[in-house]
Amino acid sequence: MMRLIVLLAMLCFPAAAGAVLEREIAVEAERLGDDVVAWRRDIHRNPELSNREFRTSEKVAEHLRSLGLEVQTGVAHTGVVGLLRGGKPGPVVALRADMDALPVVEQTGLPYASTVIGEYEGQQVGVMHACGHDTHVAILMATASVLSELKDNLRGSVKFIFQPAEEGPPKGEDGGARMMISEGVLENPDVDAIFGLHIGQQGLAGSASFRSRGFMASAQRFDITVRGRQTHGARPWSGVDPVVVGSQIVNALQTIVSRQIDITQAPAVVSVGSFHAGVRNNIIPEEAHLSGTIRTFDPEIKRQIHEKIRRIATLIGRAQGAEVEVEIDPGVPVTYNHPALTADMAATLRKVYGKDSVYISGRVTGAEDFSFFQEQIPGFFFYIGARPIEILPDDAIPNHSPLFYIDEAALVPGVKAMSQLAVDYLELHAPD
């Protein structure tokens, strides 16, 4: 009955087509509320690490096939792409969700908490959706359902991109957005624009935020190997201690941003996230291994930080008689929201969330490989709030925390937002 009413309204009042589609998106998204929560909880309970999203991709592909979409699997290892061809001619818009989880032991105590154990770079680790990618997948699955119901009235096509390895493929492997692009995900048919979202506790459930131009940081991983000379712990003078050298490097790296970079130009971060050395208390080991991340918004500051990391680590090692090797990967570029596209789509977010619940964000030092898509075509990336009302802003739990959780009231508005962005873009750019 609803479909019949919608079709009659659009035939009789063509100028009101946009409002009719908006109402139908809202109705369909609300109808899918229980489904999107169930999908999200199932994915949360069964998380998979980067390039290992086998169960998740199978679940996604099965759902897209059930909607009658053209489905491609095995893109960039485990990626899934679904194509919905609208009933009317027009452009192609892509919607993207990332699928991978993190090597984190969940501590939320939720009834659907993960107890999964996996392997990450040779270590047994807990696995958790500590960054909310489970919600991104569930939201996009529901968005595919909503837009499939509107298929006959879509003025163009929608490509649904379910991406693996956003958190970065394991060392020595390829993957993520860059690999999907190289395998042609933005072609056949060519995509004109792309949208993506990220969930977090930075805002209350039912809110959204964005920033035009540079939004999220460029990020690179660095790895430092310190080679000393192994000896007995009781005779440290007989060797070269890589633990001490590595510790001096960690401390010195913290002076780069605090003392050697003009931070009035743009924010920057250098953090060491892991330090591994030795196997026994009374043996000074041969090697120590450090790994960390660099976050910048300015290409020149990025270049300076890379140079300073190499110089500081190498010279500290030389001063102590150790050999030091520094590797810095290419990483991901700044997440850059196309200004004209952002101006157009901001109106859509305000339509979905209400003008008082949509905010202009400051720069975010988190990073997103969605930025690779934005290097190829105009893209718009935004955040949706999911902080439970009982949590004060200063107590918000950050993504990547073992305690991270979301208010599931954020899911249906996310479905409405992604669906409405696709429809509004197609309407704005469809041929006359």
Domain contains 180: yes
pLDDT in tens, 201-231: 999 999 999 999 999 999 999 999 999 999 9
Domain membership flag for residue 229: yes
39 has a pLDDT exceeding 80 = yes
Residue 15: pLDDT band (50, 70, 90) is: very low
Helices then strands, each counted (H, E), the chain: 11, 18
Do 231 and 312 belong together in one domain? yes
- pLDDT, residue 18, reads 77
Once rounded to an integer, what is the mean pLDDT over residues 25-30? Answer: 98
231 with 356, same domain: the answer is no
Q: Tell me the pLDDT tens digit for each residue of 235-257.
A: 999 999 999 999 999 999 999 99
358 shares a domain with 321? no
> What are the respective helix, strand and coil percentages of the chain, to the nearest 5?
40, 30, 30
Residues 101 and 129 in one domain: yes
Same domain, 110 and 195: yes
CATH number of the domain residue 321 falls in: 3.30.70.360
At 311 the three-state DSSP class reads helix
Within a domain: residue 115?
yes
The pLDDT score that the predictor gives to residue 16 is 55
Last residue of a domain, one of 289, 306, 328: 328
Q: With beta carbons less than 8 A apart as the criterion, state whether 296 and 217 touch.
A: yes
Q: Do 164 and 136 share a domain, yes or no? A: yes
Residue 371 within a domain: yes
Q: pLDDT tens, 151-168?
A: 999 999 999 999 999 999
**Beta-carbon neighbour count of residue 44 at 10 Å?**
25
Q: Last residue of a domain, which of 294, 328, 362? A: 328
Q: In this predicted model, what pLDDT tens digit does every residue of 338-391 receive, in sequence order?
A: 999 999 999 999 999 999 999 999 999 999 999 999 999 999 999 999 999 999
**Does 68 map to a domain?**
yes
Tell whether 47 and 139 lie within a shared domain. Answer: yes
Listed in sequence order, the residues at least 6 apart from 87 whose beta carbon sits closer than 8 Å to its beta carbon are 151, 152, 153, 154
pLDDT digits (tens, 9 = 90+) for 174-195: 999 999 999 999 999 999 999 9
Q: Please tell me whether residues 44 and 173 are part of one structural domain.
A: yes
Crossing angle between the packed helical segments 339-353 and 411-429, to the nearest 10 degrees: 130
Q: Nearest 5 degrees, angle CA 356-CA 342-CA 95?
A: 100
Do both 59 and 163 map to the same domain?
yes
Q: Which pLDDT does position 32 carry in this prediction?
A: 98
Residue 227 lies in a domain: yes
Q: Do residues 88 and 188 share a domain? A: yes
Domain count, the chain: 2
Asked whether the beta carbons of 100 and 73 are under 8 A apart, the reply is no
Closest by CA position to 144, among listed 68, 230, 235: 68
Q: What is the CATH number of the domain that holds 193?
A: 3.40.630.10
What share of the chain in percent tops pLDDT 70?
96
Residues 229 and 115 in one domain: no
Give me the mean pLDDT over the 384-407 stretch: 97
Residues 317 and 209 in one domain: no
Q: Which of 302, 328, 354 is the last residue of a domain?
A: 328
Give catalytic residue positions. 100, 166
Q: Which domain holds residue 222?
A: 218-328
273 in a structural domain: yes
CB 105 within 8 A of CB 126: yes
Q: Does residue 14 surpass a pLDDT of 70? A: no
Q: What is the pLDDT of residue 11?
A: 46
pLDDT of residue 369: 97
Q: Has residue 10 been placed in a domain?
A: no
In SS3 terms, 121-182 reads as CCEEEECECCCCHHHHHHHHHHHHHHHHHCHHHCEEEEEEEEECCCCCCCCCCCCHHHHHHH
Give the predicted TM-score (pTM) of the model: 0.93
